[in-house]
Structure 1
Amino acid sequence: MASVFEPSMSSSISRQPPMSATAPSMADSLPSINFGFDDLRDRMAKFSARFDNFIELGRKRVLEERNQFRMNVAELQEDQRMKKKDMEILQLKTNTHQQTISKEAAETREMQAAIASLTQQRDKNAAQRDTLKRQITETRAEIDTRLAAQRAHAARIEAQARFNVPELDFWISNLCLKIEGAGQRDRLKFVYTHIDDRDWEREAWFELSTSSRDYDVRHCRPKLEREKVDRVLEKVNETRELATLLKGMRELFVEAVKS
């Protein structure tokens, strides 16, 4: 360290009486003092250069760190924006998925309801089918029974007709009668003429049903009172004589034409 300059010493020296020229100087007897200003100046210059370099490096480092921080913040903001966008897209997909699930659930319920309805309808149709099969079987049996009865009755009629042919020809001739088919297997049509004094060609007819054991008149022209026709049929079914039917129906037609 440099020596400290003391002003009191110099002032005391200056107050001493001058010494003779031949006497040795006090300054010469003092030790020489080297403060090292050049070295200090050089050291200070180097320190200033290092300090300026340190400050410059620190400033650059601060700028770089600040720029890096800004870049990091910008990246974080961009990442946050992208994540927010991804979250919005994910939320939209979630909403769409939920809507799809709700729609599929509704469609599933509708399909289940339709399946239940179809199953119920199938069971109902199966029950109706079984009922119809049973009814068809019963109807076929009834038809077979009726056909057998009709065939037996037709056989009896045919057998009786062999004996009644001469008598039938007699009544056809005397009652002005002709027998025709009525378009059905179990029906006969009896047509009369000469029942109207004013028009001998005028016809009156009735259809006789032989589908059952008892005779039955289904249609007639001109129209007759049903009670009178039933009385004639009652006699015929009791006696089983066709002549009674032919005579009785002609009398009813003559009476109807006159009235």
Structure 2
Amino acid sequence: MASSFEPSLSLSSSRQGFSGHGAQSLADTLPNINFGFDDLRDRMAKFTAKFDAFIEQGRKRVLEERNQFRMGVAELQEDRRMKKKAVEILQLKTNTHQQTIAKEEAETREMQASIASLTEQRDRQLAQRDALKRQIAETQREIDARLAAQRAHAQQREAQARFNVPELDFWIANLCLRIEGAGQEDRLRFIYTHVDERNWEREAWFELSTASRDYGVRHCRPKLEKEKVDRVLERVNETRELSVLLKGMRELFVEAMKS
């Protein structure tokens, strides 16, 4: 460190110089002034140290704040990058979801169209099936009716065949009788003539039922008393002889015509 200036030493040496020459200078007459350079130097040194410490602390604080700022900026940039990446992923998922929805909607429309087509086809087939069922039912009814007619005709012929014997021919000829079908498979109509003395052409008839083992008279013209007819049928069912029926019914008709 440079030596400090000391005015007291300078003044004393000046005085000695002047006194050596034997003459008194003007400076010798000035008062002795002590400026306190040592104290000032100490205080300046302390101030400098404090200032340097303040500057150092400020520099450290600025560095720390700058480092924190850089770290914050880096974190923000990383967060922004992550958010941008998340947004891109969400956008990709959204696009994929929209494509999936569009595909599913297209498939749904196709399925609905297929269902509508199948439903229409099913309705047509059901209508055709119902029409075929009706045709089959009508055909079956016609077949049943024809079979029934054939059976009735066969049974009628069979029933007539039971009476188609020489004895029946004898009674037909002698009782002025003819036999016809009565419109039902189990009935025969016996028609008499020459039962009315006033009109030999007048007819009298009765319908014989062969549906069961015992014969039964269902209708007759003219009307006969039921009790008398039942007595004739009772004898017929006991004897199983058709001649009893034919003669008995003719007698009842003749009696009815006379009354």
Q: Radius of gyration: which is bigger? A: 2
Structure of greater relative contact order (alpha carbons < 8 Å, 6+ residues apart): 1
